[in-house]
Amino acid sequence: MQEIYLDNAATTPMSPQVIDVMTREMKSDFGNASSTYELGRQARRAVDRARSQIAAAINAEDSEIVFTSGGSESNNTAIFGVAHSRQKIGKQIITTKIEHPSVLNPMRQLEREGYDVTYLDVDETGHISLTDLKNALTPETILVSIMAVNNEVGSINPLAEIGAIVADSNAYFHVDAVQGLGNIDLDVKEMQIDLLSTSAHKINGPKFLGFLYENKQITLPPLVLGGEQETKRRAGTENVPAIAGFGEAVSEIAAVDKAGLQAKYAHWQEMILQELNQAGVAYEINGGCGEHVSHHVLNLRINGVSTTILQANLDLAGFAVSGGSACTAGSLEPSHVLVACFGKDSPRVNESIRISFGRYNTDEEVAAFAQELSKIARKVQK
């Protein structure tokens, strides 16, 4: 049985070109990038080349890119770094109720340390109110942390508008762009973003690698202490093959027309919805699929069918989809994103699946999935 993978918001298959780059580096370049002899200098050149590729993709300077172990470390570095280095200015932080756990859990830790964290509400499409953000800002606000694209319902936040609002305050603007990089255009200068986190494995790169963009005007204390790698901002010997692969992955995705990619994903969403409509399946869309949404995510409630039953039946049929964020999939608690959008008593929180597309999926795969989803839904709903 062929497995059809539709959980790209959890992770993505590696690009063949990325694999080639990493394989070449592993075979020919084992030097430590901090060593001064030729093998070390060769490794350093590979790291610097990747850093330049990544900086160019978000309109940053090379020196503003810090390699980390992934989005979670980048988020933790930004949040704890700002909180602990700016607490003399104030101890108020603003975020949203639908952030990734690697943002929400550091926020809860900071609350235990005496910080005042404001969690902005979202509407049923997963969007915040800019008026709420303006009203929450005070002279003591030191950080606003808002994700670019939500990983469960695909809502896109208006980063440029948020950046302009935050720029008029004392706060720094941090963006978790793990789902944004590769799906929407990002320009840290135009959007007035001070800190931005990403992860390589969401854009067909290697796992356990990411970067943190730090505006050159900002100096944060390092989260990981040790050697003087990454200009003393992140200790640990650089994973040169993975970093080279990350640079290749970013270059590939930077060359892709984001509007065209979104149009392709929107077409796939429509294929699934048409199949459900023709089959008479009762369903609801969580988060919407119109404007201000990244169409790589389609979150559906199949009315009356539990997430567990639907996901298990799809898995047995050879289709990989998610019941929510892969980072919380092992939890018995319902999705915090759907709870924030619809309330904890809504049946949506226990009857929804997340379908997420990637650039290697095909029309044939999506059509096969739509037919199987309709077949299972009709059977169980009857």
N-terminal to C-terminal alpha carbon distance within the chain: 27
Q: How far is CA 187 from CA 148, 190, 204, 316, in A?
A: 12, 5, 21, 42
Q: Show the beta-strand stretches assigned E in the chain.
A: 4-5, 65-68, 92-96, 116-120, 141-145, 172-176, 195-199, 210-214, 283-286, 297-302, 319-320, 352-356
Q: Using alpha carbons, select from 248, 238, 241, 264 the residue that is nearest to residue 203.
A: 248
Question: What are phi and psi for residue 40, nearest 5 degrees?
Answer: -70, -40
Could you tell me if 226 and 236 are in contact, meaning their C-beta atoms sit under 8 angstroms apart?
yes
List own/partner pairs for 225-233 with CB under 8 A and 24 or more apart.
227/34, 228/34, 229/33, 229/34, 230/66, 230/67, 231/63, 233/66
Name which of 329, 351, 331, 332 is nearest 9 in CA terms. Answer: 329
The whole-angstrom separation of Cα 24 and Cα 147 is: 35
What residues pair up with 356 in beta bridges, in sequence order? 7, 297
**Which residues partner with 7 through β-bridges?**
356
Residues acting as catalytic residues: 327
The first and second tokens of residue 271, run together, are 């294929």
Give CA 95 to chain center in angstroms.
Answer: 15
Side-chain-side CA neighbours of 228 within 13 Å: the count stands at: 3
How far is the C-alpha of 356 from the C-alpha of 183, rounded, in Å? Answer: 12
